[in-house]
Amino acid sequence: MKFRITSHSGFTASTRLANAVDLLWQRLGAIHDEVSFAKVGSEITATWGEDVPASMKPDERAEIGRRAVLDIVREVCQRAPELELDWFAVGVFH
């Protein structure tokens, strides 16, 4: 399942936020636990490959995957004082 990490639309653009996705990418790396990441333009895509029961509803799977990606972003932001978790949004890639 694919997700997209973007700058959160709730924050106004500033110099610090303008390169927030680039800063996150530098700290994130391509593979982290069960998620692989790729930088595509101004966003980061995340592919979550965790096995979940086939009986689970698609929206439930999507929420579990989104939380897994968000948890990784949270960890990276906690280790990097120049990043704030609130700057980023994680959503299903359509």
Specify the higher pLDDT residue, 17 or 93: 93
For 36-83, write each residue's pLDDT tens digit.
999 988 899 999 887 777 778 888 889 999 999 999 999 999 999 889
pLDDT value at position 32? 73
pLDDT value at position 16? 57
Count of alpha carbons within 13 Å of 84, Cβ hemisphere only?
A: 8
Tell whether the model's pLDDT for residue 84 goes beyond 50. Answer: yes
Distance CA(9)–CA(60), nearest Å, equals 24
For 11-46, write each residue's pLDDT tens digit.
554 445 668 899 999 999 777 778 999 998 889 999
Q: Do residues 48 and 34 make contact, with C-beta atoms less than 8 angstroms apart?
A: yes
Distance CA(51)–CA(10), nearest Å, equals 32
pLDDT value at position 18? 67
Q: Do residues 74 and 85 make contact, with C-beta atoms less than 8 angstroms apart?
A: yes
Q: Which residue has the tokens 């509803």?
A: 57
Smallest CA-to-CA distance from 52 within 44, 62, 43 is with: 62
Q: Which string of b and e fits 60-70 if b means at least 16 CB within 10 Å?
A: ebbeebbebbb
